[in-house]
Amino acid sequence: MRIMVIGASRGLGRALVEGLAPSHELIGISRSRPADLATDIQWIEADMSDPLRAVDAIEAQSPQRLDAIIYNLGIWETRAFEDDYSFLQDDDAQILEMVSVNIGATLLLLKRLLPRLLGGAKPQLILTGSTSALPQSGRPEVTFGASKFALKGIAETLREGFRDQRLAVTCLQLGYLNTQDGLQTPVEQAAQNGEGQLIPLHDVVALVRTLLNLSDASYVRELVLPAIADERF
């Protein structure tokens, strides 16, 4: 399969590239290509904080046909997930940037790329959301949470708008990830770090592999993946 991973340079995005590349043709997108990336894949450098310029560059350099898109891009507040976070202290310019990157850029890029995805035997779109988009999340980060609720809305409406073209849209609502341990760390060790409060990247990669391997007769609409000791879920 020819798969594009948006937001691919570090953390989960990088794990997806490294975990999927041996079996698929990958196109990675990020602000810059990681210098230590061992996998030899096509890379498109684009800064989504400048959405119009970024989508132009990605559209110009992308293959004409794609089998799957994994959209794994999102930014959050400076003090997000800290005990002293306060919406009233958020910087105005940062709020607008988050809306632009997390929502505006997402819409623009998917609008440009969907024609290259549709028409295939099994077009798939996987959106990396967050448990912050769920009613019981218990999180106070207003702009980040709002943007993840918006991502769920994007998934719902795209699914309905392109159902007759059999577009499979999955929204992954992920809890707290262990981004310190890459795939080179044994999954047993990565699972121990965080004492049950963090999800190994290996688990998300395994789930994405499963989604990609489904037949064209079914899809996963939404998947919620919290850590085992996350008391919110």
Q: Taking Cα atoms as reference points, which of 14, 15, 57, 60 lies closest to residue 34?
A: 14
Does 233 map to a domain?
A: no
Q: Looking at residue 136, which CATH number applies to its domain?
A: 3.40.50.720
Residue 125 lies in a domain: yes
Domain holding 68, by residue range, is 2-225
Q: Is residue 103 part of a domain?
A: yes
Q: What's the CA gap between 233 and 231, in Å, rounded?
A: 5
pTM: 0.94
In a domain, 156, yes or no: yes
> For the segment 134-189, what is each residue's pLDDT rounded down to a tens digit?
988 999 999 999 999 999 999 999 999 999 999 999 999 999 999 999 999 999 99
26-61 residues labelled b (16+ CB within 10 A) or e (exposed): bbbbbeeeeeebeeebebbebebeebeebbebbbee
Average pLDDT over residues 93-115: 96
In-domain check, residue 231: no
The residues pairing with 62 across neighbouring beta strands, listed in sequence order, are none
- Count of domains forming the chain: 1
Residue 57 lies in a domain: yes
